[in-house]
Structure 1
Amino acid sequence: MEEKEQLLHQFHDWVNFVHMLNERDAGLWNYPIAEGKWTVRDVVSHIMHWDKYFLNEAIMKIAEEGRVATQHQDFDEFNEQARQIGWQVNINALAEQSIQAREQIIQQISSMSQEQYEGVYMDDDGNDFGLAQYLQDFIWHDQHHMKQIMDLLKLNFHNSKGD
């Protein structure tokens, strides 16, 4: 399996993870991942918000225009906005939106030429942006948050929706 397919396969793990979460007790989504930390709902919304940002400002721009329009974000502000968005929809809608955003990114990158995929694009702040590095960074980010949630599940939740 070549690098692009391997990275996209790993990037898809988030989709499977959100499907699994959506099969769990709804109470899990409102439970903090650790004392004083975000809830599972907050984490899912956080990842979804970043996915939508990169889908619109980088992935679609590369596919359509051969450029990116990303720029440095105030992470605290961006993440707080993401957290608030997660509380404006029900859990099923949040899960579906998160899955949809991630699948759109995967579909767009899958359909890119090797030249587009391997290209190095300058963002609006003058920094290089490459798709392989983006995927690697967010796979790490996903795994970090998935581990936090799995640790919570091991400690506190053992039943699925039907149990």
Structure 2
Amino acid sequence: MTKTEIIQRNVRFNQWVQSLESLSNEEWLSPVKPGKWSIAEIIAHLTYWDRYFLKERYPKIKAGARLPRSIDVHVMNQGASLYARSGVSKKEIIKEFLETRDLLIKAINARSEEELDAPFYNREHPETLRKCLITFCEHDRHHKHQIEDFLHKAPEVEEMN
């Protein structure tokens, strides 16, 4: 995937997230499945990870760099979930996501195709920025499918006894 394609995916994802402003508060705050997050929590989760990546990881990704162990995933996700359930508005969560993702798009645009392919080490595993960004696109797609499945789910049909 080229840098332009990665950027285009992010721009389209931003547009899709912006469309979530039209959801009712019930849709926004209801778990997408029993025991799963709400849409609010999913979008906050994406924002938290984008912020972390931009502040803590992205500046250190250079050819030959050795990145230390990442933060505790559970702690990060719990923080995003608590924030989304704190009473913050749908408009604010979406605004924060869009602002943060726009910063990520600018950061991607600032790197050359060659820089995207420069190998570095995430702990001891060889990695490239391009691979990371493609993984992020897949992560976005996973959560988009979760949300769309929830929003387009047919009403449950009661079983006849």
Work out whether the TM-score is over 0.5: yes
Equivalent position of 2:100 in the other structure? 101
**Where does residue 48 of structure 1 map in the other structure?**
47
TM-score normalised to the size of structure 1?
0.81
TM-superposed CA distance for 1:70, in Å, is: 5.8
Alignment of 1:60-99 (within 5 A): 60-62=59-61, 71-88=69-86, 89-99=88-98
Give the length in aligned residue pairs.
154
Question: Do 1:118 and 1:132's aligned partners in 2 also have CA atoms closer than 8 Å?
Answer: yes
User: Structure 1 pair 93/67, CA: closer, same or farther in 2 (3 Å)?
Assistant: farther
For residues 86 and 60 of structure 1, the distance between their equivalents in structure 2, rounded to whole angstroms, comes to 27
Deviations 1:48-82 (A, max 9, x none): 1111111112224448xx95756333222221112
Work out whether residues 61 and 67 of structure 2, in 8 Å CA contact, stay in contact via their aligned partners in 1.
no
User: 1:59·1:68 contact (CA, 8 Å) conserved in 2?
Assistant: no
* 1:150–1:36 distance in 2 versus 1, CA, 3 Å: same
Residue identity in the other structure for 1:36: G
Max Rg structure: 2
Aligned-partner Cα distance in 1 for 2:112–2:50: 21
Aligned residue type for 2:89 = N
| Identical counterparts, % of pairs | 25
Measured in 1, the distance between the counterparts of 2:115 and 2:66 equals 12
Alpha-carbon separation, structure 2, partners of 1:115 and 1:126: 22
Question: Which stretches in structure 1 are left out of the alignment for 5+ residues?
Answer: 158-163
The aligned residue for residue 146 of structure 2 is 148
Deviations 1:6-56 (A, max 9, x none): 122113332112101112223221011011211111111111111111111
Give 4+ residue runs of structure 1 displaced > 3 Å after superposition.
Answer: 60-63, 66-70, 126-129
Q: Structure 2 unaligned segments of length 5 or more: list them.
A: 156-161
Provide the C-alpha distance between the structure 2 equivalents of 1:108 and 1:57, rounded to a whole number of angstroms: 13
Aligned to 1:31: 30
Q: Is the 8 A contact 2:2 2:113 kept in 1?
A: no
CA–CA separation in structure 2 for the residues paired with 1:156 and 1:40: 18
Counterparts of 2:66 and 2:143, CA distance in 1: 26
